[in-house]
Amino acid sequence: MAFFVYGGHMARVKDPTQPYAGRNMSARVLNITLQEEEVALLRQFCQPGMKTTGRFIGRLLLEHNARLEERKRLQEALQVACGEGETFTDS
């Protein structure tokens, strides 16, 4: 299958430091591999062809990181409250 565009210029690969139109300057491209079940779940939350997939995954990462930081903070507070000698771990 061939596509011809008359009167236009051929697409050029951009320098990695150059942003694409509509993309945040701090955005980076990341190729990932997912299992079929994970892709099916991702498609339930983000429709293909929309820009929401990257935002959704980014938001999941930020929320997961916040939960981990909160858990760490709570474990440290619990250690201080119960005494420094005891340690608590996840079961």
Domain residue ranges of the chain, discontinuous segments joined by +: 36-82
Is the pLDDT at 5 greater than 80? The verdict is no
Distance CA(43)–CA(41), nearest Å, equals: 5
| Residue 18: per-residue pLDDT | 66
Distance CA(77)–CA(83), nearest Å, equals: 10
In this prediction, residues 77-87 reach a mean pLDDT of 79
Distance CA(15)–CA(64), nearest Å, equals: 33
pTM, to two decimals: 0.58
The DSSP 8-state label assigned to residue 15 in this structure reads P
Contact 88, 75 (CB under 8 A): yes
Q: Which residue has the higher pLDDT, 73 or 7?
A: 73
Which single residue is written with the structure tokens 């201080």? 80
Q: What is the pLDDT of residues 27-61, one digit of tens each?
A: 777 788 989 999 888 888 887 766 788 888 889 99
Q: Which residue has the higher pLDDT, 51 or 79?
A: 79
Q: Which residue has the higher pLDDT, 5 or 13?
A: 13
